């Protein structure tokens, strides 16, 4: 029973990780590519970490919970890196399927002398 | 008003919990050392933390976090489906969300929440901090998206973090 | 059953890393490459966690924590570089 649950968690986590990378590989522009890794990959690795936590807690003596730390860390840092990457892409005017709002370009033009 | 001995009442237990998680043991020694570190680190790094974080309604924050966790799951299924269906079905768009939040922590909470939930990534914060540019991967109705973000995420954060 | 699941998961994560590597090599822009590098970090955390379960050892965990932190710091530093042309101001 436990083993089945663990197996499902592991396979689902790996599938989400793959979907995240698939999004990175096949989406047409940078801003759409950003979505796969920030959401699907984070959730996939989170699911793997929870599986690892359950496995080591039931395996030998004592519970194991430091996996929570990495999960939390990933869930906090993924949106931060996504925001910074997106900001950098807007700054460099990476080509996009739709035009970014006018405010961005105006502020950016003012910022760089 | 800052207390000189305990300048950040929320940071101390947070650091203690992180220490216990890092050591991976619930022994009394680890907990005491964690509390000690949680007390000492804010005290010695006081200059880097000018503002104290104030939670006005912890229960609202808890409910908000549960809502966000549920939304993360739903959003992931939606994004996974979009990726599997292929690039021809996406409808990317930039929308501008006007902000009512003014505090740093409130805005960062909102931006991170937006990035983790339904097919949107917060891309850019205007220098005057009045508006947040959000990129959505499948936007049918931009006005509806802005309304959803403001109602579902910003309203509870306003209650929690904004000074009345 | 668990070992089968682990074998499948190893395959899937490796495929994910191959796709990410393809994006890293292909580009076309600098943010694309940084994003691919960041994803590669997260994928390697997944691989380490799976290896830890497979070998029944918790030692790999410390490596996973270090990679998570260094990966984040690296991504932020690279983004800062793109935004400002400088890392330490």
User: In this predicted model, what pLDDT tens digit does every residue of A80-105 receive, in sequence order?
Assistant: 888 888 888 888 877 777 777 776 66
- Chain-centroid distance, C-alpha C5: 21
From chain A, the residues in CB contact with C46 under 8 A are 13-14, 17, 44-45, 48
Nearest alpha-carbon partner for B79 in A39, A24, A86, A77: A39
Three-state DSSP at A90 gives: helix
**Can you tell me the ipTM of this complex?**
0.84
d(CA B129, CA B100): 10
- What's the DSSP call for residue B87? G
pLDDT tens sequence across B16-31? 888 888 887 778 888 8
CB C81 within 8 A of CB C87: yes
All domains in chain B, ordered by first residue: 11-48 (no CATH), 58-161 (3.30.70)
pLDDT above 90: residue C61 = no
- CA–chain centroid gap for B87, Å, is 29
Of A20, A41, A85, which is closest to C79 when you measure between CB atoms? A85
Q: Do C49 and A49 touch (CB under 8 A)?
A: yes
B116·A75 Cβ contact <8 A: yes
**Which numeric CATH code is attached to C2-84?**
1.10.287
Average pLDDT for B122-141: 79
Residue contact A17–C20, C-beta within 8 A:
no
Q: In what order do the strands lie in the sheet with B93-98?
A: B93-98, B131-136, B120-125
Residue A3 has a pLDDT of 84
pLDDT of residue A112: 45
Q: Is B116 close to A87, i.e. CB distance below 8 A?
A: no
Greatest pairwise CA separation for chain B in angstroms? 59
Is the Cβ of B40 closer than 8 Å to some Cβ of chain A?
no
Residue whose tokens read 């496995």? A55
Q: Mark yes or no for CB contact C42/A45 under 8 Å.
A: yes
- The DSSP annotation for C24-70 comes to HHH-SSHHHHHHHHHHHHHHHHHHHHHHHHHHT-STHHHHHHHHHHH
Helix, strand, or coil here: B120? strand
Indicate which of C37, C46, C52, C72 best probes the interface with A, i.e. most A CBs within 10 Å of its own CB. C46
Residue-wise pLDDT tens digits, B126-135 = 777 778 888 8
DSSP assignment, residue A101? P
**How far is residue C47's CA from residue A7's CA, in Å, rounded to a whole number?**
15
- C89 Cα to chain A: minimum distance (Å): 16
Block mean pLDDT (10 aa), chain A, length 113: 87 90 84 83 88 83 78 88 86 75 64 44
- How many whole angstroms separate alpha carbon B46 and alpha carbon A23? 43
Q: Which two tokens stand for residue A4?
A: 């089945």
Structural domain spans, chain C: 2-84
- Contacts A42 to C, Cβ<8 Å: 42
Cis peptide before B100 (omega within 30 of 0): no
């Amino acid at each position: 029973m436990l083993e089945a649950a663990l197996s499902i968690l592991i396979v689902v986590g790996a599938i989400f990780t793959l979907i995240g990378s698939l999004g990175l590989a096949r989406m047409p522009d940078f801003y759409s590519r950003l979505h796969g890794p920030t959401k699907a990959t984070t959730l996939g690795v989170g699911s793997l970490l929870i599986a690892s936590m359950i496995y080591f807690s039931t395996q030998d003596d004592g519970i194991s919970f430091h996996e929570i730390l990495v999960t939390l860390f990933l869930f906090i840092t993924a949106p931060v890196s996504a925001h910074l990457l997106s900001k950098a892409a807007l700054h460099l005017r990476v080509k996009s399927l739709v035009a970014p709002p006018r405010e961005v370009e105006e502020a950016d033009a003012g910022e760089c002398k | 008003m800052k207390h000189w001995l305990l300048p950040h009442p929320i940071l101390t237990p947070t650091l203690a919990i992180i220490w216990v998680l890092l050591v991976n043991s619930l022994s009394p020694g680890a907990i005491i050392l964690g509390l000690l570190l949680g007390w000492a680190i804010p005290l010695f790094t006081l200059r880097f933390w000018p503002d104290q974080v104030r939670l006005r309604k912890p229960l609202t924050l808890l409910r908000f976090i549960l809502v966000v966790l549920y939304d993360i799951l739903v959003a992931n299924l939606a994004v996974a489906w979009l990726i599997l269906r292929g690039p021809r079905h996406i409808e990317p768009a930039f929308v501008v969300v006007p902000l009512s939040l003014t505090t740093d922590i409130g805005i960062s909470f909102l931006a991170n929440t937006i990035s983790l939930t339904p097919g949107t990534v917060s891309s850019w914060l205007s220098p005057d901090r009045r508006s947040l540019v959000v990129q959505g991967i499948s936007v049918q109705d931009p006005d509806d998206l802005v309304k959803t973000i403001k109602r579902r995420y910003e309203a509870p954060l306003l209650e929690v973090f904004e000074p009345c | 059953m668990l070992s089968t699941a682990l074998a499948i998961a190893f395959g899937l994560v490796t495929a994910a890393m191959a796709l990410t590597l393809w994006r890293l090599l292909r580009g076309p822009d600098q943010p694309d490459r940084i994003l691919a590098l960041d994803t590669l970090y997260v994928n390697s955390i997944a691989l380490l966690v799976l290896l830890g379960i497979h070998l029944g050892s918790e030692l790999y965990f410390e490596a996973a924590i270090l990679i998570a932190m260094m990966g984040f710091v690296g991504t932020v530093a690279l983004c800062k570089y793109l935004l400002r042309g400088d890392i330490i101001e």
